[in-house]
Amino acid sequence: MSFPFPPRCLAAVVTAAAFAAVLSGCSTTTGHAQAKGAAAAQAATTSDSLAETTWDLVSWTNADGGAVAVPGGNGNPPVGLAFLTQGHAYRVAGFSGCNRYMGTYRLEGGKLSITVPASTFMGCPSDQLAGFETAYLKALARIASFTLDSGGAPRKMTLNLRDGAVMTFKRGEDVPTRL
């Protein structure tokens, strides 16, 4: 087989192509847009606005105004959720008291919806904790509205449920950006 240019040129072209391929693998992908300024709460209009953030449940008030006891400690992670992205796939994952769960989320036009189709099946150490977990997972599917505090990086998220209950989350350690 003969090439229309000398073998040294072919080697240079192959080397340059390999070098370009290596450099393209070094680019950084964050997978999300970051709201800045005092209007961060209003900026949360697309799924990318929450991407790569984690939130820990700190309080839950039921529709009658009573407090729901939020489990914590005992060597378990906090009850909460993480908003994750992979390309244009928007995933939610977290710990619900006994088990880890995973699902999808969508934030469009300021409306947040969460679908939790799967969880692990660890046994809960008590019926009370099992009841909390069931209620928590059902609550994530009943979000009527949500708010974020103002600021460049919101620290507080409130989920208002359709039955009038309110869940308050504080921002946890964000998911590391993939390099």
| pLDDT tens-place string over residues 111-165 | 899 999 899 999 899 999 999 999 999 999 999 999 998 766 789 999 999 999 9
| pLDDT tens-place string over residues 58-80 | 999 999 999 999 998 778 899 99
Residue 12 in any domain: the answer is no
Please give the pLDDT value at position 14.
Answer: 37
d(CA 148, CA 152): 11
Please give the pLDDT value at position 151.
Answer: 65
d(CA 103, CA 114): 7
Question: For 56, how many CA atoms within 13 A lie in the half-sphere containing its CB?
Answer: 13
The number of distinct structural domains making up the chain is: 1
CATH of the domain at 83: 2.40.128.270
Residue 124 in any domain: the answer is yes
* Contact in structure between 94 and 101 (CB atoms under 8 Å): yes
157 token code pair: 């998220």
d(CA 82, CA 154): 14
Residue 163 in any domain: the answer is yes
Residue 91 in any domain: the answer is yes
3-state secondary structure the chain: CCCCCCHHHHHHHHHHHHHHHHHHCCCCCCCCCCCCCCCHHHHCCEHHHCCCEEEEEEEEECCCCCECCCCCCCCCCCCEEEEEEECCEEEEEEECCCCEEEEEEEEECCEEEEEEEEECCCCCCCHHHHHHHHHHHHHHCCEEEEEECCCCCCCEEEEEECCCCEEEEEECCCCCCCC
Please give the pLDDT value at position 42.
Answer: 46
| pLDDT tens-place string over residues 82-114 | 999 988 899 999 999 999 999 999 988 888 999
Residue 179 in any domain: the answer is no
Would you place residue 177 in the very low, low, confident or very high pLDDT band (cuts 50, 70, 90)? Answer: low
Residue 132 in any domain: the answer is yes
Residue 97 domain boundaries: 40-171
Residue 15 in any domain: the answer is no
**Taking the chain, what is the end-to-end CA distance rounded to the nearest angstrom?**
41
Radius of gyration of the chain from its Cα atoms, rounded to whole angstroms: 22
Residue 118 in any domain: the answer is yes
Please give the pLDDT value at position 21.
Answer: 33
**Whole-structure pTM over 0.95, yes or no?**
no
| pLDDT tens-place string over residues 12-48 | 433 333 333 333 332 222 222 223 333 334 445 566 7
